[in-house]
């Protein structure tokens, strides 16, 4: 494992989802989803050519090797050599409720590929599963020879709420010798013996998401809005963060609001911040607070409004033409600090605040999690932000 990157090598291919297969004779093959048309099914097919990986140039003609089992958005090819066969795994059915994995095999890398009679080997379509839209996966085996799959899916609660978006799921695979693989339906938890990795934590260039983030250094988990002005985001030695406000707010489609976030990892969770209020900014249009952000069209925020010294909540959903809604607290806050909190459940987001001397939280507004759900892939982000006049 290395964090060093080579210069890019460009490959001429009319499509998406490139994959490389390294055969035992040191030949390398490029597979991808070749675009046919976007007007009707099948929109694409799987094509392959032998490639010179040092130059990216083809060493053979580009040849169709499989159209898929469903022949519906056949994408994401991966080839595996096992027990004398070449197995070809693809994603089909689109990327939402009909998503699936299908498989075929051949004695030759060039086919013909025989489709498995019990395809698809994985789907959540028409199944009462918490993890939905499963597909677009890859198979691998661990040091003990046990097989696994990594697939894409979404956690979907009642009413189709899936604000966290598309995620990667690990699930066990049973792949008998000479046979076809069986993939377990992805679950949030499962028990299976596994051999520990031979790569130590010290050898890895990346830290675990469970590691405590550095108070003074940037983390690969940090999320910004587009191209940030990093000079506006200061990490102080005591672990606090100082934001210099930007002219741009969370709703702009260009530019970058002063924002530092982390991805939402659980459907039920909370995030909170202790906001230090600089009295010199009272009476200005400075907004500083805590946000849940999907994109410039969909977000919500609880913030201290320096103009009237009240806590405000704004929720925005331009995608369903509802525009924005605003709520605010009745109390004037004359303290130097205020605590802001966003609570997430499977059904809604709650925006709360309290002063450091209070035991209970005041819920200013709640918004349905459907407001952060759509037929898209990216998930919600919690973050601190500051915008407006100082």
Backbone φ and ψ of 203, nearest 5°: -80, -15
The distance of Cα 379 from the centroid of its chain, to the nearest Å, equals 6
Q: Are residues 186 and 240 in the same domain?
A: no
- Round to whole Å and give the CA distance between 373 and 365: 18
Residue 223 is assigned to a structural domain of this protein: no
239 and 112 in one domain? no
Q: Which of 124-138, 175-189, 309-323 has the lowest mean pLDDT?
A: 309-323
Evaluate whether residue 208 is within a structural domain. no
Is position 47 within any domain?
yes
- In this prediction, residues 26-44 reach a mean pLDDT of 96
Which residue carries 């693989």 as its tokens?
181
Structural domain tally of the chain? 2
- Shared domain for 187 and 305, answered yes or no, is no
Domain match, 165 and 279 both? no
Examine residue 281 and state whether it is found in any structural domain, yes or no.
Answer: yes
User: Quick one: which of 384, 382, 388, 365 has its CA closest to 287?
Assistant: 388
Q: With pLDDT > 70 as the criterion, what percentage of the chain qualifies?
A: 93
Are 237 and 285 in a shared domain? yes
Nearest one of 272, 350, 279 to 309, comparing CA atoms: 279
Under DSSP, the state recorded for 142 is -
Q: Domain for residue 210, yes or no?
A: no
User: Residue 213: what pLDDT?
Assistant: 47
- 258 lies in the same domain as 361: yes
Residues 69 and 148 both lie in one domain: yes
Residue 293 shares a structural domain with residue 380: yes
Q: What is the CATH number of the domain that holds 74?
A: 2.115.10.20
pLDDT at 284 over 80: yes
What mean pLDDT value characterizes the chain? 91
**Domain span at residue 29?**
15-203
Statement to judge: residues 262 and 161 lie in one domain: no
**106 & 38 share domain:** yes
**CA 96 to CA 237: how far, in whole Å?**
45
At residue 217, the pLDDT reads 66
Q: How far apart are CA 69 and CA 313, in angstroms?
A: 49
pLDDT of the residue at 1: 53
Q: Is the pLDDT of residue 176 over 70?
A: yes
E-strand spans in 175-230?
A: 182-183
Whether 209 is in a domain gets the answer: no
Residue 49 clears pLDDT 70, i.e. is over it: yes
| Residue tagged 């490959």 (tokens) | 11
Average pLDDT (111-136) is 96
Whether residue 213 lies inside any domain: the answer is no
Do 279 and 153 fall into the same domain? no
Task: Please determine, for residue 322, whether its predicted confidence score (pLDDT) is greater than 70.
Answer: no
Evaluate if residue 303 carries a pLDDT over 70: yes
Over 80: is that where the pLDDT of 198 sits?
no
Planar angle of CA 46, 47, 52, nearest 5 degrees: 135
Residue 8 lies in a domain: no
More confident residue, 195 or 42: 42
What's phi and psi for 69, nearest 5 deg?
A: -85, -45
Q: What would the pLDDT profile of 55-94 be if each residue is shown by its tens digit? A: 999 999 999 999 999 999 999 999 999 999 999 999 999 9
The CATH number of the domain where 288 resides is what? 2.60.120.200
Separation between Cα atoms, residue 384 and residue 349, nearest integer Å: 16
Tell me how far apart the alpha carbons of residues 136 and 92 are, in angstroms, rounded to a whole number: 8
Phi and psi at 370, nearest 5°, equal -60, -25
Q: Are both 305 and 165 inside the same structural domain?
A: no
């Amino acid at each position: 494992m290395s964090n060093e990157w080579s210069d890019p090598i460009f490959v001429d291919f009319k499509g998406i989802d490139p994959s490389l297969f390294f055969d035992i004779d040191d030949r390398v093959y490029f597979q991808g989803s070749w675009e046919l048309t976007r007007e009707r099914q099948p929109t694409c097919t799987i094509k392959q050519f032998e490639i010179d990986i040092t130059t990216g140039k083809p060493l053979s003609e580009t040849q169709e090797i499989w159209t898929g089992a469903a022949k519906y958005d056949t994408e994401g090819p991966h080839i595996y050599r096992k027990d004398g066969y070449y197995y070809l795994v693809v994603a089909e059915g689109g990327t939402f409720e009909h998503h699936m994995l299908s498989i075929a095999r051949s004695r030759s890398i060039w086919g013909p590929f025989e489709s498995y009679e019990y395809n698809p080997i994985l789907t959540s379509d028409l199944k009462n599963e918490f993890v939905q839209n499963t597909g677009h996966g890859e198979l691998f085996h661990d040091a003990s020879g046990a097989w696994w799959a990594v697939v894409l899916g979404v956690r979907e609660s009642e009413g189709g709420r899936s604000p966290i978006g598309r995620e990667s799921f690990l699930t066990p695979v049973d792949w008998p010798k000479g046979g076809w693989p069986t993939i377990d339906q992805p679950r949030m938890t499962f028990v299976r013996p596994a051999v520990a990795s031979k790569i130590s934590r010290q050898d890895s260039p990346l830290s675990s998401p469970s590691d405590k983030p550095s108070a003074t250094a940037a983390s690969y988990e940090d999320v910004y809005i587009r191209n940030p002005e990093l000079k506006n985001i200061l990490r102080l030695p005591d672990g606090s963060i100082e934001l210099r406000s930007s002219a741009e707010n969370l709703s702009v489609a260009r530019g970058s609001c002063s924002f530092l976030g982390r991805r939402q990892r659980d459907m039920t969770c909370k995030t909170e911040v202790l906001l230090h209020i600089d009295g010199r900014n009272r009476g200005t249009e400075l907004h500083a607070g805590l946000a849940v952000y999907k994109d410039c069209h969909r977000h919500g925020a609880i913030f201290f409004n320096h103009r009237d010294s009240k806590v405000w909540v704004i929720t925005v959903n331009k995608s369903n033409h509802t525009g924005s809604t605003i709520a605010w607290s009745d109390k004037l806050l004359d303290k130097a600090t205020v605590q802001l909190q966003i609570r997430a459940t499977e059904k809604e987001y709650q925006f709360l605040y309290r002063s450091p001397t209070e035991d209970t939280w005041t819920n200013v507004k709640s918004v349905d999690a459907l407001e952060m759900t759509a037929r898209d892939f990216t998930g919600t982000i919690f973050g601190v932000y500051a915008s407006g006049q100082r």
